[in-house]
Amino acid sequence: MSSPLKKSLKLALIQLASSADKTSNLTSARQKVLEASKAGAHLVVLPECFNSPYGTKYFDKYAETLLPSPPKDSQTFTALSKLAKEAGVYLVGGSIPERDDKDEKKLYNTSLTFAPSGELMATHRKVHLFDIDIPGKIKFRESDVLSPGNKITLVDLPEYGKIAIAICYDIRFPELAMIAARKGAFLLLYPGAFNLTTGALHWELLARARATDNQVYVGLCSPARDMKAEYNAWGHSMLVDPNAMVVEQLDEKEGTLIQELVAGRIDEIRKGVPLYGQRRFDVYPDVSEGGRFKE
């Protein structure tokens, strides 16, 4: 198997503090992305719902129509495209609420990835919607207002290799990550807004589990925590290496994590623990094969 990471890559995860003011959020994102670019980052990631508050009652108000692409009237799409070009980076625009172009009542939680040219490279609609009910702790149902996406999103960065984009709750489903890794991804990226209950329980655990399963880098990018907001994000954006070690983790406040993904590290780990040559597809199926896989 050829090395999935062609050369070392500096990654920035921006833990942004978002407000109810979309224009202000976009301005803040621009400042942070440009700062990350000046610090040498070539791949920059924003958090889930970075341009709005996170909550079911906000999705409709802040939703933008993204199709047909490029859209004529999407403030966030236009801002991200210009920003990627201005900063000269690959930009994963966290996620934003998207309105279906054919059914205005249909909404998605959508991530847009742009090239340094400003061109759109990929769109990921959150596949697994966040529906949970932990008695006495938290109840949340994205499916009350959102529709799910139906594909796995791989993005080829020509100089570096493939990355996979998914959103928040998607990380709990190892099949998605396994397929992406077996299709050659060197990095699994999850813009995500875990809360104070699930974050404390599973945020780091899931990042390290997906790295352990697949021997790839895993990046989690959260909004900063705002205890005055209705929904309190966990924060703690982090990068985990292919050996499931936490390279760096932020606290709950606004900040930027910048770290280098080292070429050869994945190969080193896979040589020591050679899972990729030990799987028994004669005993169980390879989830990355078959007609149901959508890319």
In a domain, 151, yes or no: yes
For residue 295, the model assigns a pLDDT of 66
Strand segments, DSSP code E, in the chain are 9-15, 43-45, 64-65, 90-92, 96-99, 107-114, 120-125, 131-134, 138-141, 153-157, 161-165, 185-191, 217-221, 238-240, 246-249, 255-261
Residue 247: count of CB within 10 angstroms of its CB: 17
Sheet of 153-157: strand order equals 153-157, 161-165, 185-191, 217-221, 238-240, 246-249
Q: Which among 78, 148, 146 is positioned nearest to 112, based on CA atoms?
A: 78
Catalytic (active-site) positions: 48, 126, 168
Mean pLDDT of 59-84: 96
**CATH classification of the domain holding 164:** 3.60.110.10
Percent of the chain with pLDDT over 90: 93
Distances (CA, A) of 270 to 213, 245, 278, 281: 11, 14, 11, 18
pLDDT (tens digit, 9 = 90+) per residue, 240-292?
Answer: 999 999 999 999 999 999 999 999 999 999 999 999 999 999 999 999 986 55
Distances (CA, A) of 86 to 12, 37, 82, 142: 16, 10, 6, 34
pLDDT (tens digit, 9 = 90+) per residue, 26-42?
Answer: 999 999 999 999 999 99
For residue 3, the model assigns a pLDDT of 85
DSSP letter at 272? H
In a domain, 290, yes or no: no
In a domain, 228, yes or no: yes
Does the pLDDT at position 294 exceed 70?
no
- Radius of gyration of the chain, Cα coordinates, nearest whole angstrom: 18
Number of structural domains (the chain) is: 1
In a domain, 282, yes or no: no
**Contact predicate 100/112, CB 8 Å:** no
pLDDT (tens digit, 9 = 90+) per residue, 10-30?
Answer: 999 999 999 999 999 999 999
Does the pLDDT at position 293 exceed 70?
no
**Contact predicate 195/151, CB 8 Å:** no
For residue 269, the model assigns a pLDDT of 97
- Which residue range(s) make up the domain with 29? 9-272
Percent of the chain with pLDDT over 70: 98
Does the pLDDT at position 2 exceed 80?
no
For residue 34, the model assigns a pLDDT of 98
Contacts of 169 (CB under 8 A, 6+ apart): 126, 128, 129, 130, 142, 192
In a domain, 148, yes or no: yes
In a domain, 285, yes or no: no
In a domain, 294, yes or no: no
Q: What value does the mean pLDDT of the chain take?
A: 95
Q: Which among 15, 2, 65, 22 is positioned nearest to 44, based on CA atoms?
A: 15
For residue 139, the model assigns a pLDDT of 87
Residue 88: count of CB within 10 angstroms of its CB: 13
pLDDT (tens digit, 9 = 90+) per residue, 86-132?
Answer: 999 999 999 999 999 999 999 999 999 999 999 999 999 999 999 98
Mean pLDDT of 75-96: 98
User: 9 forms bridges with which residues in the sheet?
Assistant: 261
pTM: 0.96
What does the alpha-carbon distance between residue 82 and residue 87 come to, in Å, rounded to a whole number?
A: 9
Does the pLDDT at position 199 exceed 60?
yes
